[in-house]
Chain A
Amino acid sequence: MPVGLQTEPSLGVPGKKRWAMVVDLRRCIGCMACVCADKAEYDVPLGVWRTTVKVKDTGHYPNTKRHFMPRLCNHCDNPPCVRNCPTQATYKHEDGFVLQRYERCISCRTCIAACPYNARHVLPKNRDRVKIGGVVDKCTFCNHRVEKGLAPACVQTCLGRSRIFGDLNDPNSEVSRLVARHKTVVLKPDKGTRPQVYYIKPDRAQTEQVFSAPQSYAARSDAQAFYQRNRGSKFFSGVL
C-alpha cells in the first residue's frame, strides 16, 4: 500500500512486473557503447543524453584509478517527478516504467528539479527529423522494446554484460538472482525514491553526492569555467 502521497508500488506486488536494471561495475569498461546505442535508438539530439557513463578519476599519480558508472533514470518505485508534475505528463506504468507523455508536457522543468539523479533533460525545440521537441525527455527503460520481449538498447549493446535487465518480481530472473546474491547499492536511498537501478561494487566517490565533485584537473577547470560563466543565471536560454 502506498503511504501518504507515494505512488502505488510495483516492487514485490504479486501479479505485477517490476522491471529493474542491475549494473555490474566490475564488468563496465567505459566503452560508451550504451550511450551510443541509446542515442541511435531515440535520435537523441546533441548536448543531451538519456544515459551516460560517468567517469571518475581518483588518487594521485602514479597511484590513480579510473572508475566508470553508467547512469540513467532509476525508474523509482516512488518517483518524486510523478508527484510534482502539474499536468500528469510524467506517470508511472504499473510495471514500474516511469514514462513521459510528450503531448501533455509543458516543460515547466519541475520534474527536473524533483529528480535527484539528473536523469531528465529538455529536448531542443527545432529538430530536423524527429518532431518531438521543447518538452522534457528521459530514459524509458526502452519500454517499447521490453513490451515486445526485447532487452533495452543499452543492455543489448553492452560489451561486458555490465548492464542486466529483468523483472525483479520474478525470483528466477537474472536481476533477482544478482540482487539476492550480491551486495548491491542504489543511489541516494535516503531520498525515499526507491530507485530500481542496482549497482554491484560501486565506488563511494560515485554514489555519494558530497564526494561527487570533480577531482581531476581537467574536470575541475571545466566546473570552474561553468560557474564563472553562468553563476546560476543562464541555465536554459541556450536550450529552449
Chain B
Amino acid sequence: MFEYMDYNIAPWGHEIVIYFFLIGAAGMTFVYAAAPVVFGNVFGGAAKSMEPFQRVGLIASLVLLAICGPLLIMDLGQPARFLYPILYFHWTSPLSWGSLFLPLFGLCIVGFYYGSIKDNQGLMRWTGILGSLLALSMPLYTGLDLMVNQTRELWSNPTIPLLFVILSMSSGTAVVAVIQLLRGQLDQRAAEFLHAFLYLSLAVTFALFLAEWVVLNYGTGEKQQAWEIINQQFAFKYWGMTFLIGILAPLVLVAIPKLGRDPKILTLAAVLSAVGAYSFREVLIYAGQLTQINF
C-alpha cells in the first residue's frame, strides 16, 4: 500500500522555476541599465555603451519584476498572506530576505527611472548602486533558498548560489541583446561590452557544470542517486538543452573571435545561453526534489 507514495510529491513546481529564471533576468537587466551611472569611466568607460539601453532596460526590468511578483504570490497556498515573510521576518530563512529585497529592488528601479527623468545624477547613482546590489541578491537568494536545505544533497552545495548568479548574467545579457538588436542599437561597442559578460558567464557556467558532474559522480549515495535521476528523467534537458544548446553551442559561438562579436551571432548565443539557464535551473530544482521521493 505505502511502498510507493505519490503524496510524497516535491513541493516546488514550474512556477518556481519560471520565477527563478525571470527574477535573475530582471536583476541583471537592471545592472546593465544602471551600468553607465554605476561604473562610469571604469574599464575605459565601456559601460557607457549601455546608455541607449538605460530607460528601456529599466522598463524591461520592471516588467519582468511585475511578472515575477504575482507569479510568486500565486504560487503560495495562501496568496493573501504574501507580506507575512516581512511582517514575521525570520532572519535564518533566505526566503524572508528575498521577500524583503524584492520590493526594495522594485523601489530602486522606480527611483532610478525617476532620477533619469529629472536628470538627478545623485539619485541615479545611489539607486543604481543599491539597486545593482539588490539585483544581484535576487538570483543569489534563490540559490541560497536551495542551498540551505542540507537534507537535499543536490542542492546543499555552495556553488548553487554562484551558479544562479552566473546564469542570471546569461539571461540578462539575452534580454539586453534581443531588445537592442530589435531597436537597431546593438552597435559594435555595445556588442563588445555584452560579449565580455556573456563569454565570462558561459565560461564560468561551463566550469560549474563540470564541477557539478564531478561532485555528483564522486559524491555520496544520495548524490549518485541524484545523478541517476538526472540521467534517467532529465537526460534530454540536462545534456541536450542545458549542456549542448545552453552552454557548449553559445560558448563556441562567442569564443570564435570574428563571429562572437557580430551583433546577430552574439544575440543568438545569448538567447541559447538563456535557454540553458532556464533548463539548468529546471533540472536542478526538480531532480533535487525527486531524490527522496521514495524514502
Contacts and interface: CB of A to CB of B under 8 A. Distances in A.
Interface string B1-39: 111111111111110000000000000000000000000
B286 interface: yes
B294 interface: yes
B221 A208 contact: yes
A185 interface: no
What 5 A-B pairs have minimum CB-CB distances, sorted nearest first?
A: A107-B77, A232-B286, A109-B11, A116-B151, A210-B221
27 contacts: A54-B5, A55-B2, A55-B3, A83-B148, A84-B148, A85-B90, A86-B95, A87-B90, A88-B90, A104-B81, A106-B84, A106-B85, A107-B78, A108-B75, A109-B11, A110-B11, A113-B289, A114-B148, A114-B149, A118-B292, A125-B77, A193-B151, A209-B225, A218-B3, A232-B233, A235-B9, A235-B10
B93 A110 contact: yes
A216 B1 CA distance: 11
A106 B225 CA distance: 31
Contacts of A235: 9-13, 289
B84 A87 contact: yes
Contacts of B5: 52, 54, 118
A188 B92 contact: no
Interface in A82-126: 83-89, 104-110, 112-118, 121-122, 125
B218 interface: no
Interface in B244-295: 286-287, 289-295
B193 interface: no
Interface in B79-135: 81-82, 84-85, 87-88, 90, 92-96, 99
B84 A232 contact: no
B212 interface: no
Contacts of B96: 86-87
Q: Give the dominant DSSP class at A's interface.
A: loop
Contacts of A188: 151
A205 B32 CA distance: 53
Interface of B: 1-14, 75-78, 81-82, 84-85, 87-88, 90, 92-96, 99, 145, 148-152, 221-222, 224-225, 233-234, 286-287, 289-295
A108 B76 contact: yes
Contacts of B295: 116-118, 209, 212
Contacts of A62: none
B88 A49 contact: no
A134 interface: yes
Contact of B2 (A52, A115, A121): A52
Contacts of A233: 13-14, 286
A50 to B, nearest CB: 11
A53 interface: yes
A219 B12 CA distance: 24
Interface in A157-177: none
Chain A interface size band reads: 35 or more
A214 interface: yes
A136 interface: yes
A213 to B, nearest CB: 5
Contacts of A47: 7
B88 A113 contact: no
A118 B8 contact: yes
Contacts of B221: 208-210
A191 B150 contact: yes
Nearest to A230: B9
A48 to B, nearest CB: 6
Given A232-B234, A232-B287, A214 B294 contact: yes
B11 A54 contact: no
B11 A57 contact: no
A157 B85 CA distance: 39
Contacts of A52: 2, 5
A209 B2 contact: no
A226 interface: yes
B294 A213 contact: yes
A232 B2 contact: no
A226 B151 CA distance: 23
A116 B234 CA distance: 22
Nearest to B6: A226
Nearest to A49: B7
